Structure 1
Amino acid sequence: MAVIEFHNQDINVEKKIILKKVNLSIDAGEFILLSGVSGSGKTTFINKIVDEYQQTAARVFQNPDQQFTMETPLLELVFLLENLRFPSQKIGQKIDEILREFHLLDKKNQFVYTLSGGEQQRLALAEAANLKSDLVILDEPFASVDRKNIAFLLDKAKDLKKAGKTIIVADHNPLIYQGLA
């Protein structure tokens, strides 16, 4: 069953056509890679998907500075879970579970801006994975991430796919997605 569909749709930015006559159907549970050189319209297309499917999409940005609103991973996850109306008496336990899964428990009270790029992207994916969204969109998520964290994040993306989530990644390096997308 298609969760995203575009039929002969032009994608515009400020009344300028960036992508012409887009035809695309993405089924639930697929792992899709949008690849191309810088400036080819990947992020523009991601923005269009998010605009049209915002009720069902969780997004991880290329630049983590755009991702976070709170000072620490703890506060980020409290904010997320409160907005999801998670039972307040279980929030602390759930936060520790999430942070442990994403190898951030020891960073719980550290300022987000002091985390490495890989740690910030792990936190961003942790939030996206726990939004209860069936669609997870990653926009060049490995731009400031080392190989160890890339491997970790790819494994988590595989886990999300196995859990039935639809994954869309925009990246100019298709080689790291061989056998996955």
Structure 2
Amino acid sequence: MDCDMDLITLKDITFAYGEDEPPVLDHLSFSLAKGKCLVVEGENGAGKTTLFRILNGLSFPQSGRYLFDGIQIDRNYLKNNQNAKLFHKRIGYLFQNPDLILFNASVYDEIAFGPRQMGLKETEVQTRVEDCMNLFHLSAYRDKAPYHLSGGQKKRVALAAVMALNPEVLILDEPFAGLDQKNAENLMAFLKEMKSAGKTLIIASHHPAVKERLADEVLTLCNNKSESF
């Protein structure tokens, strides 16, 4: 792979949750080019969520380097509000449990929250929200509180909120969990469309079709070690 084209590079990353704890990620290295899809596999506790937190600038490794588009992402870089704003605009993160990020009084406001935080004009916010509600079939729920929705509906709202910022990178933690077959197929079609449009995808999933239909590369995490294919 041509390193000049890599969007994301992790070099010798080690992360532990305490000084006396064994590392969750131990000397992990990989790179991913723009427009590619990386599928991350591993048993519970193998470090998938920890990896995703590092990629999103929510946690920081004890050693190693994380480069995003050639820029080292660390505490010092993200202390600058402008740096943090630009970085988080480029990466969209869908948590495995959407309840962790849904807190607004209505579906409309939930999807609008990110664009409003980025300082977009309200006319642009409205356009983005309407487009995302139509894309994920949420218009009928626009005035409902997200916590009153079903698990599958909450996941669609969370994904719509991510997409309202039009990120370059989508990081999705078990996005198919809890979805029925119809919604799973709709999500698969959406992800294929995003990849075709040039988005970079990083997906943790046990869904076999994800690796078969989307993956350019696979990273397997297990027992503090990793293998890439």
How far is 1:151 from its partner? Answer: 1.3
2:153 corresponds in structure 1 to 119
Give 1:40's match in structure 2, choosing from 46, 57, 62.
46
Following superposition of structure 1 onto structure 2, how do residues 75-94 of structure 1 map, counting pairs within 5 Å? 75-94=109-128
Runs of 5+ unmatched residues, structure 2: 58-65, 67-72, 74-83, 216-229
2:180 corresponds in structure 1 to 146
Moved more, 144-153 or 25-34: 144-153
What TM-score does the superposition give when structure 2 sets the normalisation length?
A: 0.72
Segments of 4+ in structure 1 off by > 6 A? none
- Paired with 1:41 and 1:72, the residues of 2 have a C-alpha distance of 33
**Contact kept in structure 1, 2:172 and 2:204, CA below 8 Å:** yes
1:108 corresponds in structure 2 to 142
How far is 1:118 from its partner? Answer: 1.5
Give 2:35's match in structure 1, choosing from 29, 36, 45.
29
How far is 1:73 from its partner? Answer: 1.0
Moved more, 21-30 or 147-156: 147-156
**Contact kept in structure 2, 1:29 and 1:166, CA below 8 Å:** yes
Question: Rg larger in 1 or in 2?
Answer: 2
1:162 corresponds in structure 2 to 196
- Paired with 1:96 and 1:21, the residues of 2 have a C-alpha distance of 44
1:96 corresponds in structure 2 to 130
Moved more, 44-53 or 133-142: 44-53
2:103 corresponds in structure 1 to 69
**Contact kept in structure 2, 1:10 and 1:20, CA below 8 Å:** yes
**Contact kept in structure 2, 1:6 and 1:24, CA below 8 Å:** yes
User: Aligned residues, how many?
Assistant: 181
**Contact kept in structure 2, 1:35 and 1:174, CA below 8 Å:** no
**Contact kept in structure 1, 2:173 and 2:205, CA below 8 Å:** yes
Give 1:136's match in structure 2, choosing from 163, 170, 182.
170
Q: Deviations over 1:68-124 (max 9, x none)?
A: 120211111232221233222343343222201111111111110121222111111
Moved more, 106-115 or 126-135: 126-135
Q: Residue type matched to 2:196 in 1?
A: K
Is 1:7 the counterpart of 2:41? The answer is: no
Runs of 5+ unmatched residues, structure 1: none
Q: Residue type matched to 1:85 in 2?
A: G
- Paired with 2:207 and 2:132, the residues of 1 have a C-alpha distance of 29
What TM-score does the superposition give when structure 1 sets the normalisation length?
A: 0.90
How far is 1:166 from its partner? Answer: 0.8
